[in-house]
Structure 1
Amino acid sequence: MKREILLGVAAGVFFFASISGLNPLPALLFGFLLYLLYETGGLRIIRRQLGGSGQEVKNQVTFQQIGGQAAAKKELLEALEFMKDGNKAAALGIRPLKGILLAGPPGTGKTLLAKAAATYTDAVFLAAAGSEFIEMYAGVGAQRVRSLFQRAREAGRREGRSNAVIFIDEIDVLGSKRGQYQGHMEYDQTLNQLLTEMDGMKSTDGVRVLVVGATNREDMLDPALLRPGRFDRLVRVELPDQEGRLQILKLHTANKPLAPDVDLKQIARETFGFSGAHLESLANEAAILALRENAAQIGQRHFLEAIDKVSLGEKLDRRPQKEELWRVAVHEVGHAVVSEAFRPGSVASLTITSRGQALGYMRQVPEDDYYLYTESYLRGQLRILLAGMAAEEVLLGNRSTGAQGDLEQAISTVKKMVAAGMSSLGIVSVADLPAGELQGAIRDILNEEKAEARRIMTEKKELVLSLARELLEKERLAGEELRARLQDGHEPAYPAEAADQTGVLAS
């Protein structure tokens, strides 16, 4: 039907132009091009390029479905109460919040919190990424910002809702500090338009709009974006603590058949530093491992192996030479023995199985989540890091490049100690220290802790050799097995001949 109407209009234009003495070909050519654009979807593409950033998302995410972020949820809920009960807020003279910034590491649940905010306030939810607003064409980004706010209000009126939430992920791309892109003013124009739209938001518009931004680089944001009246609240979304990790694990395992031996508290304890995304992946990987074995339930061993997989990657097919495996075994046992001497019960497992970039590794279990570290604790950690190198020196007579990663971590730790006044230099400004003095302070602390690690290796040389032979045979030792052997104290459970078969000397 539309084609017939267009043909009729074209014929009418042609006839009118003919009797008027005008050339109808330009008009017909222009009409033909518009017809082609319409038929091929070109007009829709152009409209989307000019103002199609962000899409309305139907979601039913609630705050009860988000674990491990009690503080962030509490602060966010308080801010949303102003939006949910506008009359009560107005009676107290409270200005509705215009923006809330969620800042924290990747994978901590910032997007989920924004969706839960929309559900809680019964608001329409539009989501966009900061990169969607930036184009090489001048004015396109600003137009997209205007279109996004307009569509949020239209969606609210269409669905009969008084609230709308606009979520902009990675807002640091859109809201980075002005003036740093000297050859490309499009960034600044787009940010200026966002600032203007947030200034123009009023509670009397019929639909209250709340902008929720998410970033893990808040230091890159323009100060004008962070001032009161735009992003009024900064909500920290940090990595979950042990109790938070337990809550998240319970949420992600609720739909999974768990074996009776599964101890989620132990898993939460062993996953220090994991984000919510890591824990979701952990539960999923444990289920995949159970599927590989055709197991009906997910056991504790599946979760423990999944921790290693999420942390370091899948097991690799590469198989080092026997001499290399023996060196790796000695190295990892050195770490484990010093770790148990410094803090009993700290070793979760050690293995010579290759994962990612690691030929072997020793995984520790933190006693609790720490946010402040004493000098004695940091020196103990240095001793553990240097114990692998010390074990190679004492038992094998030389070092290897396998200690490179340990040394990098140790040097980073010592730099923090120097900055905190825990070195012989006293309280200093690290940035103003001559390079030679800083290197000297680092060297002194590392040599002190390495000497202590060597002392332990020398005292327990036979026990370390015996444990290394056992690890070489089994490829993996659980923390409980290691502690049983350390408490037993006498050797050899695995005689020297077991190591001699690898082609290297055991002493």
Structure 2
Amino acid sequence: MGKEVLYGVVPGILIFLLFLGVNITPFLLFGAVLGGIFFLMARQGNMAALSARGKSSRHAVPKSTITFADIGGQERAKKELKEALDFLIHKEKIEQYGIRPIKGVLLTGPPGTGKTLMAKAAANYTDSAFVAASGSQFIEMYVGVGAQRIRDLFKEVRTLAEKNGQDSGIIFIDEIDVIGGKREGQQQREYDQTLNQLLTEMDGITTSDKPRILVIAATNRKDMLDSALLRPGRFDRHITVDLPDKTAREQILTIHTAKKPLAADVSLEQIAQETFGFSGAQLESVANEAAIYAMRENAPAIARRHFSQAVDKVMMGEKVDREASADEKRRVAMHELGHAIASEWVRPGSVSQVTLSPRGQALGYVRQNPMEDRYLYTREALEKQIMVCLAGAVAEEIYYGGRSTGSKNDFEQALGMAQEIVQSGMSRLGIVNMKLVDRHQVHEEVNRLLEELLEKTREVLKRHDAVFQAGVGILLEQEVLHGHTFRELLTTNKHANELAV
């Protein structure tokens, strides 16, 4: 109400003075100065409010119930982290050996692999005060706010540990690449001040500190971090939390299905084998989505088909309402059967199912069952996988005389693997430096590889016309062709070809 009165009275007084012939210029100057003072005071108040909001956004995390036993797989990463945590627990022993305490642990790896879970388990393992923050919380438009928040974070964990009577505290900073990026003269001053303050605080951690502080940080982009953060004496340990292997995937599925009713036909080992490349978060989603599918049907237990649907959803997305024409459906069926035939030819038993129902951006897809986890590839293995990628387009050429836009993603994958053959020194060019070799020469070699494999794939598919015809009929009628049924078609076709010969 006071502001409204002020806004109404002041202009009225000025107009009255002007009517009397009084020079109002000094009054206007005085008002401008007074307004500037009020503006600066308001801005300082806003900065204080921002700082206060920053403090309230960082809070002590309640005592974690998560233990390392609750994290499936990652045995090597857990062992390394536990060793670093033991320095917080066994203070006398590290002093006996003259060991400098580890100040920081950097957890790196793809999203969803359990980096945050490991930090929470670390706090429980050491009975430490635990304070968590995200890198984005330290960034504001006002210079100095981020640095102040770093100071407050270290102060907060010390205060919390003293309050709870704990001997140690853990600070967890997620997305540390936001504030710890490489300084190349292009960053804002705010980023530099925040990073410098973090380095200063970590340098101040000593053996005699009470409570002892350990900084755990997580990032998906270690290559983006400044070298000052990564040197010994700051983040001493770099622990890779990688995608789980088959054994670890089975452990993760066991943990996430422990309280779920599973049908007798469910094999977690089989599901683990089919989910190569899945992160822990994706596997948790598979278990959850399978339970949702079972609930939709009001089924007494989660069956194998529910897990199959869940894997498809996590991998490809939910089913969509797009309805393709009859001609498009037939073309997609031929395309996917081409992939499936090539996959079975190069890796018998690899096809789990062929599906004609649209999911995400795909009108159909083949779900393959990796026979084993692979991390190294020979030229032969890459060429076989390229053939699988090319087989969809080749099937369209055989039965429709040309290709469609549905092969775009297949070609991108095939090109990537062909380039990998060249870059790895497995082509006719030999061992090459990609920065020095002529690009046209590389392009020609990649094209030569792809043309040879296209022709080889064409020869394979032409021998399976009966499989195409029978498989298309099943897909158009049922939309799904299961792996065992598909292999029966291949066996029948093989016997027919042998009799013809």
TM-score class, shorter-chain normalisation, is 0.7 to 0.9
Among residues 221, 225, 228, which one is paired with 1:224 in the alignment? Answer: 228
Among residues 384, 388, 392, which one is paired with 1:384 in the alignment? Answer: 388
1:345-395 per-residue CA deviation (whole Å, 9 max, x = no partner) reads 011111111000101011111111111001111110011111111111112
Distance 2:103 2:305 in 1: 48
Superposed displacement of residue 431, structure 1:
2.7
What are the residue-to-residue correspondences of 1:73-84 with 2, within 5 Å? 73-84=78-89
Distance 1:127 1:384 in 2: 46
User: Contact conserved, 1:129 with 1:170, CA < 8 A, in 2?
Assistant: yes
Superposed displacement of residue 51, structure 1:
4.2
Among residues 367, 389, 392, which one is paired with 1:363 in the alignment? Answer: 367
User: Contact conserved, 2:262 with 2:302, CA < 8 A, in 1?
Assistant: yes
What are the residue-to-residue correspondences of 1:20-35 with 2, within 5 Å? none
Amino acid at match of 2:202: M
Partner of 1:30: none
Q: Would you say 1:310 and 2:317 are equivalent positions?
A: no
Distance 1:60 1:307 in 2: 29
Superposed displacement of residue 491, structure 1:
10
Q: Give the secondary structure class of the aligned counterpart of 1:201.
A: coil
Structure 1 runs of 4+ aligned residues shifted over 6 Å read: 41-44
Partner of 2:332: 328
Distance 1:52 1:230 in 2: 27
Superposed displacement of residue 44, structure 1:
8.6
The two structures have a TM-score, normalised by structure 2, of 0.88
Superposed displacement of residue 490, structure 1:
7.5
What are the residue-to-residue correspondences of 1:88-487 with 2, within 5 Å? 88-182=93-187, 184-487=188-491
The structure-2 alpha-carbon separation of the partners of 1:490 and 1:372, relative to structure 1 and needing over 3 Å to count, comes to: closer
The two structures have a TM-score, normalised by structure 1, of 0.87
Amino acid at match of 1:455: E
Q: Give the secondary structure class of the aligned counterpart of 1:432.
A: coil
Q: Would you say 1:71 and 2:71 are equivalent positions?
A: no
Distance 2:465 2:392 in 1: 13
Superposed displacement of residue 461, structure 1:
1.9
Distance 2:426 2:367 in 1: 27
Q: Give the secondary structure class of the aligned counterpart of 1:203.
A: coil
Q: Give the secondary structure class of the aligned counterpart of 1:430.
A: coil
User: Contact conserved, 1:466 with 1:491, CA < 8 A, in 2?
Assistant: no
1:109-133 per-residue CA deviation (whole Å, 9 max, x = no partner) reads 0000000011101101100000101
Q: Give the secondary structure class of the aligned counterpart of 2:435.
A: helix
Question: Which stretch of structure 1 is more off in the superposition, 149-158 or 202-211?
Answer: 202-211
User: Contact conserved, 1:52 with 1:148, CA < 8 A, in 2?
Assistant: no
Distance 1:456 1:469 in 2: 21
Distance 1:196 1:345 in 2: 58
User: Contact conserved, 1:50 with 1:143, CA < 8 A, in 2?
Assistant: no
Superposed displacement of residue 456, structure 1:
1.0
1:434-455 per-residue CA deviation (whole Å, 9 max, x = no partner) reads 2211111111111111101100
Amino acid at match of 1:244: A
- Percent of pairs identical after alignment? 53
User: Contact conserved, 1:181 with 1:187, CA < 8 A, in 2?
Assistant: no
1:205-237 per-residue CA deviation (whole Å, 9 max, x = no partner) reads 210110000001011111011111100100000
User: Contact conserved, 1:107 with 1:278, CA < 8 A, in 2?
Assistant: yes
Superposed displacement of residue 181, structure 1:
3.0
Among residues 48, 58, 66, which one is paired with 1:61 in the alignment? Answer: 66
Distance 1:431 1:389 in 2: 32
1:381-426 per-residue CA deviation (whole Å, 9 max, x = no partner) reads 0111111111111122221111111000000111111001121211
The structure-2 alpha-carbon separation of the partners of 1:50 and 1:77, relative to structure 1 and needing over 3 Å to count, comes to: closer
User: Contact conserved, 1:471 with 1:477, CA < 8 A, in 2?
Assistant: yes
Aligned residues: 454
Q: Give the secondary structure class of the aligned counterpart of 1:405.
A: helix
Tell me the C-alpha RMSD between the 2 structures.
1.9
Q: Give the secondary structure class of the aligned counterpart of 1:232.
A: strand
User: Contact conserved, 1:49 with 1:140, CA < 8 A, in 2?
Assistant: no
Distance 1:199 1:52 in 2: 26
Distance 1:165 1:216 in 2: 20
Q: Give the secondary structure class of the aligned counterpart of 2:113.
A: coil
Distance 2:413 2:430 in 1: 22
